[in-house]
Amino acid sequence: MSFNESLPLLTLFSSLLPGLVIFGLREERVALRTTLNIVGAVAKLALIGYMLWGVAQGEEYVFVHTVLPGIHLVFRADALALLFVTLSAALWMLTTLYAIGYLEDAPHRSRFFGFFSLCVTATVGVAMAGNLFTFFFFYELLTLSTYPLVVHRGTDASVRGGSIYLGYTLFGGAVLLTGVVWLYGLLGQVDFIQGGAASLLGPEHTRQLQFVFLLLIIGVGVKAAIVPFHGWLPQAMVAPAPVSALLHAVAVVKAGAFGVVRIVYEVYGVEFAASLNLLTPLAVAAAITIIWGSLRALFQNDLKRRLAYSTVSQVSYIVLGVALFGPVGTVGGLVHLVHQGIMKITLFFCAGNYAETLGVHKVSELNGVGRRMPLTTIAFSIGALGMIGAPLTAGYVSKTYLTDGAIAAQMDWAIWVLNISALLNAAYFLPILFRAWVLRQREPWHAEHIPARGWRETNWLLLLPPLISALATVLAAVMADAAWSPLTWARFISAREYLQ
């Protein structure tokens, strides 16, 4: 095995091996558990950084292992994979720091961080999958590794939320498996290739390919929370804040959206999918989800549920960008994969800080919280403004590209969807900021678990991650044209996909 072949495998093992060791640690081995988490996260980022540089120079990183005749486990660190892997690894580091502070003195920490590492391993496997078999294997591993995190608290509410989550995702997995087996029956090995493996089939397979596409999109659409398969996401918000951040920004929802990208561009090929009239129905489904999620968010008083319905809406921006059929829309969708993750993890970190420090869980309880926790609330404000699409935030960049992509694709109705969604985003985020900064506290907060200490309004491990991700939300816009920016990498991927 060459060095280049080993790099995708090493990237996978950088979270898998620490996770397996952590499972066997006693609860009091805090220092060793923390060290394993941090070393694994740093090693993963270093490996990814090296591969990013190599892919930009034209290097290839592919590992192939034969499982059975005609069935191969393939890991390929291409440009699209590295976009998702970089996001997951960077946010894993932040979420690990946050979880260490959040779960301080909590029970079952070794179990939590063990499954946490397995979840990240599965996400990396999904991202670097080089064929449909590998993708499906790690996609289902992601379901199994996140369920224990959702039910971690062991309460009746968390068990119920976990059961709903498992029911939805297992249904999605069964539908996805049906589509995968059907397509393997038509093609044999289904590799992710530019132009799409399905495009090699003749016109006599058109009806079958249309139906298989529907099965594949439903299968990944459950995790992507596309309406009507979104019901698990608000229910899963009973999980601890680090898990909510993981579900929304790092792993599950993003794996579903990433699956849509792979299916459209590298299973079917965007041009072939357009010729089969598959992209317009996909765009309509994304548009319905964008508006429905925003409308539902308006009426949620629970802060995490409001953020959950916001995710339902915002993730479908990625799907819409994919369905716009054009390089500009593709850039918008791909870069929003990263930008939405950065912004949403900021919001969930802040929601966790309010809950842990002040016992605040409801929007109606946020009056005056900006005076008590100014740094957390500044970070929350940046994340919220980014979700609205305000200038100088990451959201403005991706939504501008999506609007331009709709114009280029001559889909005027999609522009109306984006504008209406922006107004709805403002309608459910701005009242939160008004309460936090302008209104005065009406009644004592429920608890003060972590008192203020000088400039620190809460545990520094809870405060540092949202400040970093909020800064990244601004830098992604201010330095959008930098050589290392998510936008530049999304342009690089789009240019390759549409290269004639």
68 bridge partner residues: 71
Element holding 224 (H helix, E strand) = none
Centre a 10 Å sphere on the Cβ of residue 437 and count the other Cβ atoms it contains. 17
Model confidence over 89-106: pLDDT tens digits?
A: 999 899 888 888 887 776
Instruction: Decide if 405 contacts 328 (C-beta within 8 A).
Output: yes
pLDDT(438) > 80: yes
Determine phi and psi for 240, rounding to 5 degrees: -60, 155
pLDDT at 454 over 70: no
Under DSSP, the state recorded for 63 is: E
Summarised one tens digit per residue, pLDDT across range 191-229 is: 898 888 888 887 888 899 999 999 999 999 999 989 999
Q: What are phi and psi of 277, to 5 degrees?
A: 60, 40
Angle at Cα 94 formed by Cα 89 and Cα 98, nearest 5°?
Answer: 140
Instruction: Select from 219, 2, 36 the least CA-distant residue to 120.
Output: 36
The gap from C-alpha 174 to its chain's centroid, in whole angstroms, comes to: 22
Confidence of residue 77 (pLDDT cuts 50, 70, 90): very high
**pLDDT: which is higher, 359 or 425:** 425
Which pLDDT belongs to residue 456? 64
Rounded CA separation 249/261 (Å): 16
Contact 259, 213 (CB under 8 A): no
Enter the pTM of the model: 0.92
Amino acid 499: pLDDT: 47
Please say whether the beta carbons of 411 and 324 come within 8 A.
yes
